[in-house]
Amino acid sequence: MADRKFFAGAAIRRLRRAANMTQVALADALDISPSYLNLIERNQRPLSARLLLLLADRFDFDPRQLAADEPGGGIDGISRRLADPMFDDLAIDRGEVEEWLSAAPNAAEAFVRLFDNRLTGQLGSALEIFDPIQLVRKEIERWRNHFADLDAAAEALADELRMGAADLYGAIAERLRVKHQLTIRVLPETVLPETLRRLDLHARQLQLSEMLNPASRTFQAAILLGEIEAQAEIDSLVSGAKFQDTTAQRLYRRHLSSYFAASLLMPYARFLRACEQTGYQIQVLQRRFGASFEQVAHRLTTLQRVGARGLPFFMIRIDRSGQVSKRFAGASHAALIESAHRCPLWNIHRVFDQPLEVHSQLVALEDETTWFTISRAVAGIGAGAGGYAPEFAIGLGLSAELASTLYHARGKNLSSDNAKPIGLGCAACTRVQCPQRSAPPKNRTIKFNERKTGLTPYNFVSD
């Protein structure tokens, strides 16, 4: 794999200032000269692996965190924005982006903020156009989808419930009844048409549809318990996000309530221990914690407790048309799930035809990163008796260099030479002569040869 210079000046400067250290003090701690540290902080020198490890030890953080703190999300983050059609005529390549980040990191960050906010003028005033879903996702990724206070509260409650009963669903139901005067009632689909869960405060009932499977029933009950007993922690996180949009606030609150429920079903320390004992074998984790495949997959993206971190998985959920309904990068910083489109050569698109089988694949992106992915089809809850049950594909993945201990990677050749080359959708992919190509890449001039027909109808000028 080719070495890429890693610039993290802005992130290092924030770490130093947060610790109330001067450049001289930090340089002394790292055994380098203050002038060299100054060059690093100004992105005029890359960060070496040795210094990265020293910084991680000094400030007790995950080294991968610095990649997320690169101005504008680093080369990949800025390149994704420059793929917008408004920049098509500029043909800006990755080399230019790297030079820009090196020479003017703050200017790059300013560009990203302006691009994301999409300022528009109306009657002489500027209005910011926000997508509440993207705002919430940005806040979740700022926390790397790990909320330590919620995890701790859920873990303590899980231990308390476990002492009273081995059956978690029964223990939650009893807790709701005794402490909060709320009962759980499972009702026929005809009584709750097109509804999976309803809280009837007049009757003091949590009403659940019979269409929910056992894992989903427990999850819904856990959500309500979390909304009541972790209200202070959830309120604090929602307040700290400082959303101006009420839709974003409600979406974020819903995510945090679901996060607490997952943490209650799969308490952090026990779940991480089970992951390490089983090689992250998802089917075993499902059985051991009474959870669904999707619930386990999501939980795997949250294991970032300081001093007890799990592997940095990403997760994505798509439908048959490729539309994304969930994506969590966690601590993986994976460009694979950030793109608006995906490559059909990634086998996540094939799992719908074999819904009970877990598919694995080693893939390589154009930036030379290699990822080990795990995919499986799951069914949603139907619309009632005889109703259509929605289908989704769940994709999990992590850097191939970390995948050797996985159960699902046993017997697999994880060398980059064995990886399937894929792209981030045809418009963003510049791999030549791909027979699966459906559109030419942006920022590339199409070439024509009337005397020869290639594997693809789009031949283009490469770098």
Q: Residue 180: which pLDDT band, with cuts at 50, 70 and 90?
A: very high
Which pTM value belongs to this model?
A: 0.74
In this prediction, residue 121 carries a pLDDT of 38
320 half-sphere exposure, CB direction, 13 A CA radius: 7
Dihedrals phi, psi of 127, to nearest 5 degrees: -115, 130
Rounded-to-integer distance, Cα 283 and Cα 290, Å: 10
Instruction: Kindly report the number of other CB atoms within 10 A of residue 184's CB atom.
Output: 19
In this prediction, residue 12 carries a pLDDT of 81
Fold designation for 148-265: Arc Repressor Mutant, subunit A (1.10.10)
The tens digit of pLDDT for each residue in 92-114 reads 877 788 778 767 777 887 887 77
pLDDT at 131 over 80: yes
Instruction: Kindly report the number of other CB atoms within 10 A of residue 122's CB atom.
Output: 7
Q: Residue 3: which pLDDT band, with cuts at 50, 70 and 90?
A: very low
Mean pLDDT of 421-445: 87
Highest mean pLDDT among 58-67, 126-135, 374-383 belongs to 374-383
Q: Residue 56: which pLDDT band, with cuts at 50, 70 and 90?
A: confident
Mean pLDDT of 159-185: 91
Rounded-to-integer distance, Cα 61 and Cα 331, Å: 12
pLDDT at 20 over 60: yes
Domain boundaries, the chain: 9-124, 148-265, 296-420, 430-463
Q: Residue 129: which pLDDT band, with cuts at 50, 70 and 90?
A: very low
In this prediction, residue 87 carries a pLDDT of 79
Rounded-to-integer distance, Cα 51 and Cα 348, Å: 38
Q: Residue 72: which pLDDT band, with cuts at 50, 70 and 90?
A: low
The mean predicted confidence, pLDDT, of the chain is 86
Sole residue written with tokens 């490469």: 462
**Gyration radius of the chain over CA positions:** 24
Q: Residue 126: which pLDDT band, with cuts at 50, 70 and 90?
A: very low
Architecture in CATH of 9-124: Orthogonal Bundle (1.10)
Looking at per-residue pLDDT, the higher value among 13 and 344 belongs to 344
Q: What is the largest CA-CA distance in the chain?
A: 81
Mean pLDDT of 140-146: 92
Cβ neighbors of 247 (< 8 A, separation 6 or more) are: 132
SS3 assignment, position 161: helix
Rounded-to-integer distance, Cα 398 and Cα 245, Å: 33
pLDDT at 117 over 90: no
Q: Which CATH class is domain 296-420?
A: alpha beta
pLDDT at 439 over 90: no
DSSP string, 164-186: H-S-HHHHHHHHHHHHH--EEEE
CB of 408 within 8 A of CB of 377?
no
Task: Copy the structure tokens of residue 256.
Answer: 């945090």
What is residue 155's DSSP assignment? H
CB of 37 within 8 A of CB of 30?
yes
